[in-house]
Amino acid sequence: MANSRFGYVRSFEQPDTLLPNTYVVVRIDGKGFTKLTAKYNFVKPNDTRGLGLMNAAAEAVMKELPDLVLAYGQSDEYSFVFPKDCQLFERRASKLTTLIVSVFTANYVFAWSSYFPDTPLTPPLPSFDGRAVCYPSELNLRDYLSWRQVDCHINNLFNTTFWALVQQGGMERRAAEQELSGTVAADKNEILFSRFGINYNNEPEIFKKGTVLYRDLSPASTLPPTTTPAKTVQSPLPPLSHPQPKKLLPRPMSQPLHSTYPSLFQD
Q: Does 204 participate in binding ligand ATP (rule CB under 6 A)? A: no
Please tell me whether residue 33 binds ligand ATP under the rule CB under 6 A. Answer: yes
Residue 37: which of Mg ion, ligand ATP, none does it interact with, CB under 5 to 8 A by kind?
ligand ATP
State which residue has the least CB distance to ligand ATP.
50
Q: How many CB atoms lie within 10 A of CB 7?
A: 10
Q: In the complex, what is the shortest distance from the CB of residue 1 to Mg ion, in angstroms, rounded to a whole number?
A: 15
Rounded Cα–Cα distance for residues 250 and 252 (Å): 6
CA 146 – CA 142 distance, rounded (Å): 6
Nearest to 33 by CA among 21, 24, 42: 42
Q: Does 29 bind Mg ion (CB under 5 A)?
A: yes
Q: Which three-class secondary structure string do you get for 87-120?
A: CHHHHEHHHHHHHHHHHHHHHHHHHHHHHCCCCC
Q: How does 59-76 read in b/e, with b if 16+ C-beta sit within 10 Å?
A: bbbbbebbbbbbbbbbbb
CB of 75 to ligand ATP, least distance (A): 4
Degrees, nearest 5: CA angle 47-53-58: 130
Closer CB to ligand ATP, 160 or 255, in the complex: 160
- Cβ neighbors of 117 (< 8 A, separation 6 or more) are none
Minimal distance in Å, beta carbon 223 to Mg ion? 34
Binding ligand ATP (rule: CB under 6 A), the pick from 47, 64, 177, 216 is 47
* Residue 184: C-alpha distances to residues 27, 49, 210 (Å): 28, 30, 21
Part in contact with ligand ATP (CB under 6 A); list of ranges 7-15, 24-32, 118-126, 228-236: 24-32
State the minimum distance, in angstroms, from the CB of residue 124 to ligand ATP. 12
Q: Minimal distance in Å, beta carbon 34 to Mg ion?
A: 7
Residues in 169-188 that interact with ligand ATP by CB under 6 A: none
Give min distance, CB of 74 to ligand ATP, in A: 8
- Answer yes or no whether residue 210 interacts with ligand ATP by CB under 6 A: no
Distance CA 139, CA 126 (A): 34
97 binding partner (options ligand ATP, Mg ion, none; Cβ < 5 to 8 Å by kind): none
Please name the amino acid found at residue 93: A
What Å distances lie between residue 175 and 147, 165, 172, 228, CA to CA?
Answer: 30, 9, 5, 49
Stretch that binds Mg ion, among 2-10, 76-84, 215-223, 238-246 (CB under 5 A): 76-84
* 31 contributes a contact to ligand ATP by CB under 6 A: yes
Q: In this complex, which beta carbon is closest to Mg ion, that of residue 26 or of residue 240?
A: 26
Q: What DSSP designation does 35 have?
A: H
42 is a site residue for Mg ion (CB under 5 A): no
**Interface with Mg ion (CB under 5 A):** 29-30, 33, 75-77
By CB under 6 A, name the binding residues for ligand ATP: 29-34, 37, 42, 44, 46-47, 50-51, 75-76, 159
